[in-house]
Chain A
Amino acid sequence: MTGAKEHTGDYAHLAPLFGELAALPESDPKRAELRETLVTEHLPLAQHIAARFGNRGEPRDDLTQVATVGLINAVDRFDPERGSDFLSFAVPTIMGEVRRHFRDTSWSVRVPRRLKELHLSVSAASAELSQRLGRAPKPSEIAEHLGMTKEQVYEGLEASAAYHSVSLDEVRGGADDEVTPLRDRIGEEDPALEGVEYHESLEPLVRELPERERHILALRFFRNMTQTQIAERIGISQMHVSRLLSRTLERLRRRLQDEQNP
């Protein structure tokens, strides 16, 4: 988060515009214009945040688009009356959007890791071989390329790209047309989460964690359960969850830093 703060000065001149925007009646055509100005002028902020998430396997322009969606939400929902400045509101909103994107496009924890990897490698091999051969590959060619059996290739071909986040389950089950926004159901944000955005690059590190820590992490990140909910689920106190969680996150953060600055 600190990375974005240094840009505060660049945006200071925009602050009065939020007041103007809030003062305009809903129907005023000037609103759209002001809103667009605010979004456009803050775009470097979105790009900056997107860049922080770069090199994690997601195409950069996708991330920028996602971050921009977050920025738009921030512009729309920011209430200057509340006294906080726009950046301290916008940065977590944008990061939330990007984090949500990673979660949306990350594998469900319910998919067996072996199948997921099989599906991914078969897909990747198919794409590569298609390009090289100029035609669709045969299962035998994929098998040879990957050094696996044809049976494994079949399995990988048939496996679902079960792609979405477990937490989405929680969205369902409301009245037919009234679906509660996911975000409203997520519950309090964990201060310990700040600075650690879950992503595949973390996976090797996560895999090294003890079973229970890994479980807690999954419940917190994927299921968006609160510490209290996790405590009930696992049968330990909320304080204990909190301690385990912050210790785990601290450990991951340190490992990540080690990797980035060897």
Chain B
Amino acid sequence: MGDPESTLTEEAELVDQVELRLGAQLEHLSVVRAVAAHIAMGADFDIDAIADLKLAVDEVCTDLIVRAVPGSAMDCVFRLSPDRIEACVRVTSHNDDLPKRDSFGWTVLTTLTDSVSTRLESVDGHYVIQVDIAKNRTATT
């Protein structure tokens, strides 16, 4: 809804991609977790990596849901490549606060994933915050 830059990609790129759009509400966390876990299980990640991805995705979404404009949507895109799963989550926010890098949640996130990055765009007087994480096939911790 009113998302300025659609995350929908060309169909050709969708083959190994799963997109989810849901209300930015904590109630939906379990749905996103289930999808993340299912993708990782389907890709036959080891059970530690599956658990790590599930936790990392949950943390990213939790952090972003709290920042999102009430009643707005959260977009999640999962991309599967032979060696890793990437998850991109974005929400629209009233302010430009990015997730804090010295927070406990961020520490957990960096511990459990192989890469984490954030992006902030200013669009029409509000902000789009995006967090990208990637989890390699084999757990690193």
Q: Do A and B bind each other?
A: yes
Contact count band on B: 10 to 19
Residues of A within 8 Å of B47, CB to CB, are 126, 136-139, 142, 157
Question: Which A128-158 residues have C-beta < 8 A from chain B?
Answer: 135-140, 142, 150, 153-154, 157-158
B26-52 vs A: 1/0 string, CB under 8 Å? 000000000001100100111111100
B138 close to A (CB within 8 Å) = yes
Q: Are B44 and A140 in contact (CB under 8 A)?
A: yes
B139 close to A (CB within 8 Å) = yes
Contact A135-B38, Cβ < 8 Å, known A140-B44, A157-B47:
no
The answer for the CA separation of A158 and B47 in the assembled complex, in Å, is 11
Q: Are A138 and B38 in contact (CB under 8 A)?
A: no
A218 to chain B, nearest CB (A): 31
Residues of B within 8 Å of A135, CB to CB, are 46, 48, 138-139
Q: Are A136 and B41 in contact (CB under 8 A)?
A: no
The answer for the CA separation of A158 and B46 in the assembled complex, in Å, is 14
B15 to chain A, nearest CB (A): 21
B82 to chain A, nearest CB (A): 14
Q: Are A158 and B37 in contact (CB under 8 A)?
A: yes
Q: Which of B37, B46, B138 has the most CB of A within 10 A?
A: B46
Residues of B within 8 Å of A157, CB to CB, are 41, 47, 50
Which secondary structure dominates chain B's binding surface?
A: helix
Q: Are B139 and A136 in contact (CB under 8 A)?
A: yes
Q: Are B38 and A154 in contact (CB under 8 A)?
A: yes
Contact A139-B41, Cβ < 8 Å, known A126-B47, A157-B47:
yes
Chain A residue nearest to B139 (CB atoms) is A136
Residues of B within 8 Å of A140, CB to CB, are 44
The answer for the CA separation of A50 and B10 in the assembled complex, in Å, is 66
Residues of A within 8 Å of B139, CB to CB, are 135-136
A104-135 vs B: 1/0 string, CB under 8 Å? 00000000000000000000001000000001
Q: Are A138 and B37 in contact (CB under 8 A)?
A: no
8 further A-B contacts with Cβ under 8 Å, apart from A136-B139, A140-B44, are A126-B47, A135-B48, A136-B47, A136-B48, A139-B47, A142-B47, A150-B41, A157-B47
* Nearest 9 Cβ contacts at the A-B interface: A136-B48, A136-B46, A138-B44, A140-B44, A138-B46, A136-B47, A154-B41, A139-B41, A139-B44
